[in-house]
Chain A
Amino acid sequence: MNLLHYLRALRGIATRELLRFVHQRERFISALVRPLVWLFIFAAGFRSTLGLSPIPPYETYILYEEYITPGLIGMIQLFNGMQSSLSMVYDREMGNMRTLLISPLPRWFLLVAKLLAGTLVSILQAYAFLLVAWVYDVRTPLEGYLDLLPALLLSGLMLGALGLLLSSFIEQLENFAGVMNFVIFPMFFMSTALYPLWKLQESSDLLHTLAEYNPFSQAVELIRFALYGQFNIYACVYTLSSLILFLSAAVIGYNPSKGMMQKKGGKQ
């Protein structure tokens, strides 16, 4: 086994993920429509009711559409991470996952490769969304689009790792609806995606604290600052730490002798 083998496996996994994405046009359209509905309808409706004072990285008053754009990019990656996890549960139930897991490579590498492939898809979705937003006149400085790339990679990996971790616990597809209700929605609404922290503090200290420590908030802030050519070191370290935590737990979860795979034995 050598480096070339690892690279070939990574190529295989990424190509498969991209091809599956291309073949599932509905998935791409819904991934794009969801944030656009929020941008075109929700943000337009709330534009006049939500006043936002200039907070970093913004230097002037901004429109609400501009404020929630990073949050909606985060939403794309959050949903994509969960979608990948859903597909892993499906693959495991249907059997496809086995062909991956019995490959002659360390399991941690196979999971990381799968994670990278899923993140790649989420980055494509995010840029497609930004293109439509640009046409709609929601724009950021040009260099922001380039600075965004490493931030998207990190946030996508972190949210994908969370999905991976969840998929190691979820035994059946039917249980996935619960994940939507108990993970995706609280994570999204209890974050800085739709409103800044100070706004939340006005309503509830508890909500403010929860939102502050929500890894999704930090991923959104990382994206927000990157979009304006700035680097939020706290958000970066927080997101990276969350990634390490989620990924390590997922690797343990998929370890045949330690994790949930062992407990799932017999339920085939």
Chain B
Amino acid sequence: MIQSIAPVLSVQNISLAYGEKLALDNVSFSVHSGECRILLGPNGAGKSSLFSLITRLYDTRQGSIDIAGLNLKRHSSKALGRLGVVFQQPTLDMDLSVERNLFYHADLHGLGRKQAKDRIQEELERQAMFERRHEKVRQLNGGHRRRVEIARALLHKPDLLLLDEPTVGLDMPSRKAIVEYVHQLTADHKIAVLWATHLVDEIFETDQLIVLHKGTIRFQGSVPQLLDTTATSSVASAFQHLTKEVR
């Protein structure tokens, strides 16, 4: 499919090295509005490094990243304002209530009290968590904590949602609920999603894929294209085929 409008996320020729070790090698891709792009890669592929660059936790001289048309280096604050992130590690304050955690995020994004209250209600209701807003995060199970983190990432209505292996450690029903919810977001709200995972069962037929292995992109395209290119019958076999290497 040819995308005529500007991408929400554009990553161009990004390379990153830790000392001698090359973590990302000339990585380029883009994510458009309403698209769920799955960044598929085994552990150590470079997914987290890539996320650290897109969130500007780290920086690199090679290549450029634009979010909603804003260059991350030149307009970092504005660009980060268009971004919502769910990190792999839990990042909620365990001893504070759900609502207090969300107010903290709303303050960091400059939302006024009334607007923050409305948005918190809206996002928590969408995930059936509003009734639990006064509970401490510590009292919630892993799946519910993740829901709160997704609600938090969406509070300021970002154009791009980054999810770094958000379902790791969750039980099957929680995983399924999160995967479906995020896919629904792309359809209903035209949000662009970049979802890093190594679990192939989280991929929908309609998703766009990037297979990252050892810092390089091994494949980019749709699920049917992946199966065609690798001459395999399932995403799991294709993934295995693309990432198998003599260790």
Chain A residues within CB distance 8 Å of chain B: 1-2, 4-5, 8-9, 11-13, 15-16, 19-20, 23-24, 94-96, 98-106, 256-257, 261-262, 265-266, 268
> Known: A95-B90, A98-B91, A265-B16. Contact between A15 and B77, CB under 8 A?
no
| A and B contact pairs by CB, cutoff 8 A, 15 listed | A2-B110, A5-B110, A8-B108, A13-B107, A15-B104, A16-B93, A23-B96, A96-B92, A98-B87, A99-B108, A256-B56, A256-B57, A265-B16, A265-B18, A268-B48
> Known: A8-B111, A266-B49. Contact between A19 and B100, CB under 8 A?
yes
Dominant secondary structure of chain A at its interface with chain B: helix
Residue pair A268, B52 in contact (C-beta under 8 Å): yes
Query: Which residue of chain B is the closest to A24 with respect to CB atoms?
Result: B95
Taken together as a complex, chains A and B put the C-alpha atoms of A2 and B112 apart, in Å, by 12
Q: Which residues of B contact A19 (CB under 8 A)?
A: 96, 100
Query: Which residue of chain B is the closest to A96 with respect to CB atoms?
Result: B91
- How many Å from the CB of A85 to the closest CB on chain B? 18
Residue pair B107, A12 in contact (C-beta under 8 Å): yes
> Known: A16-B93, A19-B100. Contact between A104 and B109, CB under 8 A?
yes
The number of inter-chain residue pairs (CB within 8 angstroms) is 108
**Residue of B77, B79, B106, B112 touching A12 (CB-CB under 8 A):** B106
Query: Which residue of chain A is the closest to B56 with respect to CB atoms?
Result: A256
Chain B residues within CB distance 8 Å of chain A: 16, 18, 21, 23, 48-49, 52, 55-59, 61, 77-81, 83, 85, 87-93, 95-96, 100, 103-112
Residue pair B80, A104 in contact (C-beta under 8 Å): yes
Q: Which residues of B contact A102 (CB under 8 A)?
A: 55-57, 80, 83, 85
Query: Which residue of chain A is the closest to B105 with respect to CB atoms?
Result: A99
- How many Å from the CB of B201 to the closest CB on chain A? 25
Residue pair A100, B58 in contact (C-beta under 8 Å): no
Residue pair A103, B80 in contact (C-beta under 8 Å): yes
Q: Which residues of B contact A105 (CB under 8 A)?
A: 77, 108
Residue pair A1, B110 in contact (C-beta under 8 Å): yes
Query: Which residue of chain A is the closest to B77 with respect to CB atoms?
Result: A104
